[in-house]
Chains A and B, each alone.
Chain A
Amino acid sequence: MPRFWTNPEFVRHRRAELRPVRAITVGVVIVVMCLLLGLACWSYEQNMLESAQRGLEAYATDAWRNRVQQIQENISRQTWLLFYRWLIGLQGVALTFWALFSCAQSVSGERDRKTWDFQRVTRVTPTEMLIGKLLGEPVLIYFAVLCAAPITLIAGLMGGLSLATVLSVFIFLAVTATFLGLGGMWLSTLLESRTRGVGLIAALALYGFTLGSYGMRESGLPGFAAMSPLMGIADLLGHGSMSRFGHILPVLFGHEVPWLLMNLLLCGSFSAWLALMLIRNLKRDYPEIRPLSRWQAIGCAAFLNFLIYALLNPAGMMDSLSGMNRVGWFPDARSVALFAVGINGLILFLMGLATLTPQERLKVWRRKRATGESRLFADDGLPWPWLAISAIVAYALMIWGLLAWNHTLPLEMSTLQGAAIRLLVVLVFVTRDVLFLQWCMLTRLRQPIVKGAMFLCLYYAAAAVVTGLATVSSQAAAHWMLALLTPVEVFDPDVHGIAFPAATYIGLAVQTGAIGAVLMAITSRLQRPLQSAAAA
């Protein structure tokens, strides 16, 4: 971030948002709000003291006397601490929310105002544009936080917190806000002006997901909870890691690490991927946007797989309420493999979405392929070969991950064999669905990916209905239907090794045939002659 204060995009936002009158007003409002909040905290603590004193007057017991004494001794520190918590909590919510939503309108807003093209034709590089927007769009909230920072610092120190803790909270907030800002900006690049409403909903979902990851702290992958700003703030203030399962810390390769470190690792790495996608695409025309190159997409899929094994916590937890030892998410290697296959279904689908080829590029690829100038594994080709590579990489990482955890979760050969078949079935279904979406992109549908995804939902709903109807006949028939039409049957944990029912293998063959049919439909679409502009 060299000399961001001279970045033209940042300077533009600073000038527009922080004119002297507005800056002074914001500063005054922040100070007044802090004073009011401080008074409210002081009043709350005084009420606590008065209430205890009334109790002492009424009952005159030692317990009440001790309580009053304790409050009187700590009232100053407690007031400051309460004040600090409110300040940091409000700043956390405002900063993360504002950063996300202002960045989520950055590019789509420029498109809407028709100023985007003029920015794109300047010499500003995508990296400069990214830094300028990331720091410039939410500049007002950064300024507000800066105004409140000295008061927050004093409150924290007076409340008995160490300087390191107070600074850590600020670092935590800055990292999370940066991650959310990048997420918002990425959403914004994907939106045309007419779909801005959808973008705001997506931004809300992203915010909800980030906050909601707090719930992951009691899961088999507790490290993912570090994505939530709630986790970091609460932990640094001495509350977040406490649950009914005791003091929880995230694990990295089986070793406990501080929440702040995990937050830096996760937000930092996800931010790096988002930054890569943005730098690749910021100066591209809307139809040309493709989040990642094919190799980058494989790298991203591999990284996500790697995270699963790195953050895995196979240990059970002791429930402090019932005194029972709760079995964790992953009691054995087979459950880890099953989970990894399921997650890879999602990862492969997302990767497929990220690597769909625009019609124009696909046609050029096909023409070049016909003359031998282009390869099957080209960046503008069909996505299926890359999905296959990604699945192979995922399987290789699964073997590595399960072997790494062998000391805790003993690995059997049948687990790896079963996982291979499961992953193959998932890959075939995902490939079919992704190719279907690719075909939709070649049609004249408006918003083909959204409509294609809706058709897929309809397909799976129909498969559920057909399975339901088959249940009337027999359970076996229902299982057959499920195995033929969906990948659900391969997630049956009772199947060992490759001893899957025949329906699974028949389903595999049927879906491979379906892939062939979609490929033929795509080829037929690509062979259609072009119309000249005016005739169209």
Chain B
Amino acid sequence: MIELVNLRKEYDDVLAVDDLNLSIPPGEIFGLIGPNGAGKTTTIRMACGLLAPTVGRAMVSGIDVSREPERAQQYIGYLADFFAVYEDLKVWEYLDYFAHAYNLPESEIPARISEVIAQVNLEVKRDAMIRGLSRGMKQRLGIARAIIHRPKVMLLDEPASGLDPKARLELRNLLRSLRDQGATIFISSHILTELEGFCTSLGIMERGRLVRSGSIEEVTAAATSTRLVRMSWAGDSLATAEAKLRSDPRISEVNLAAGSGTFRFSGGEEDLATVLAGLIAANIQVTSFGEVKQTVEDLYMKLSTHEVM
């Protein structure tokens, strides 16, 4: 659905994006993470046709965005980290403007406006002047604008920056519902918790280069071949537990203290189950035992070279 081929952008003496190759299939939620200045915004602006690449091409739905921008843009919904709106219009007039600008069929427009207004919970403000809306409402209106033409691809550049927690949650839910409707979502952020439990694939960008990309599982597997396991137990079994764990060649980095601790394990789920069984057989009263799932932040910290952090 989104394909970036040898994408490169130079600003004066600066190489902002360096030979980026990326393919995002339909229905995917791809999170592009990286520090400020890594080239995320430049990548998104090239993908939606706002910026011409120095070399390479960005394809959306098989259309070269640089060559046929107007045709490609019917499939793209773009949301930036700022929500500038026309203050001198009413809410429905603003959406009507963009509905016409995206060439929606005239007969569909009123119903579609009502639909998106309902989606972003602005029904009561339908006829209100935009200048009278709160910041949060303007942000919701910005989201309504981006989805008015039912885009197949959403390009979101730090969409949650400046949003309060409730608005972030609403944005998340809205994006999930868009994904359920079949949209492909490309989201960039440097706030890693924003992407937690939300993206199906990830890309890590640094100094204009894509350091790593793939599905969450692939990236996790690439990050480490071992899994971190946390356990806790009742009673005074520290020495027994430590001896038992250290005797297993698949276990490393054993780090136990009174009643709890972690270790690294290289093996599958069933192998891990045998470790637990062994501990119980050694009369250790295990109260909890499980793999510590890695957060996006953990992955990023592991994979990033932190050259600019």
What is the interface of chain A, defined by CB distance below 8 A to chain B?
Answer: 6, 8-9, 11-12, 15-17, 113-115, 117-125, 283-285, 287-288, 359-360, 363-364, 444, 528, 530-536
Contact = CB atoms under 8 A, between A and B. Distances in A.
B73 A114 contact: no
12 contacts: A12-B97, A117-B78, A120-B49, A121-B50, A121-B76, A364-B55, A444-B12, A530-B10, A533-B14, A533-B16, A533-B39, A534-B38
Question: What class of interface size applies to chain B in its complex with A?
Answer: 35 or more
B86 A122 contact: no
Contacts of A536: 13-14
Contact of A119 (B52, B101, B207): B101
Nearest to B83: A114
Contacts of A17: 88
Contact of B207 (A8, A115, A120, A532): A532
Contacts of B299: none
B207 A123 contact: no
B211 interface: no
A8 B15 contact: no
A123 B65 CA distance: 12
B207 A528 contact: no
B14 A531 contact: yes
A123 B103 contact: yes
A534 B206 contact: yes
Contacts of B50: 117, 120-121, 285
B13 A122 contact: no
A457 B37 CA distance: 38
Interface in B66-105: 69-71, 73-74, 76, 78, 80, 82, 84-86, 88-90, 93, 97-98, 100-103
A527 to B, nearest CB: 12
Nearest to B88: A16
Contact of A532 (B14, B42, B73, B93): B14
Given A532-B18, A534-B206, 4 more contacts: A12-B93, A117-B50, A122-B98, A533-B208
Given A121-B48, A534-B206, A360 B84 contact: no
Contact of B52 (A114, A115, A285, A534): A285
Given A530-B14, A534-B307, A123 B101 contact: yes
A121 B73 CA distance: 6
A6 B103 CA distance: 12
Contacts of A363: 10, 54
Interface of B: 10-18, 35, 37-39, 42, 45, 48-52, 54-55, 69-71, 73-74, 76, 78, 80, 82, 84-86, 88-90, 93, 97-98, 100-103, 145, 206-209, 307-308
A438 to B, nearest CB: 14
A125 B54 contact: no
Contact of B84 (A114, A122, A532): A114
Contacts of A534: 35, 37-38, 206-208, 307-308
Contacts of B70: 123-125
Contacts of A284: 52
Contacts of B73: 121-123
Nearest to A525: B13
A288 B50 CA distance: 11
A117 B76 CA distance: 13
Nearest to A121: B78
A293 to B, nearest CB: 15
Contact of B74 (A9, A123, A530): A123
Given A115-B85, A117-B50, A533 B13 contact: no
Which of A113, A123, A530: most chain B Cβ within 10 A?
A123
B49 A118 contact: no
A121 B69 CA distance: 8
B89 A15 contact: yes
Nearest to A364: B54
Contacts of B84: 113-115, 118
A531 B208 CA distance: 10
B13 A528 contact: yes
Contacts of A535: 207, 308
A114 B86 CA distance: 10
A105 to B, nearest CB: 14
Name the residue in A114, A120, A121, A363 with the highest tally of chain B Cβ atoms < 10 Å from its Cβ.
A121
Contacts of A531: 13-15
A11 B97 contact: yes
A117 B84 CA distance: 10
Contacts of B101: 8-9, 119, 122-124
B66 to A, nearest CB: 11
A253 to B, nearest CB: 42
Contacts of B100: 6, 8, 11
Contacts of B35: 534
B82 A114 contact: yes
A249 B15 CA distance: 59
A530 B45 CA distance: 21
A285 B11 CA distance: 13
Contacts of A9: 101
A444 B97 CA distance: 40
Contacts of B82: 114
A114 B206 CA distance: 27
Nearest to A535: B207
Ranked nearest first, the 7 interchain pairs of A and B with the lowest CB-CB distance are A122-B101, A114-B84, A8-B100, A534-B308, A16-B88, A530-B15, A536-B14
A123 B102 contact: yes
A285 B37 contact: no
A532 B86 contact: no
A11 B14 CA distance: 41
A122 B102 contact: yes
Central interface residue in B17, B35, B39, B100, by most chain A CB within 10 Å: B100
A115 B51 CA distance: 16
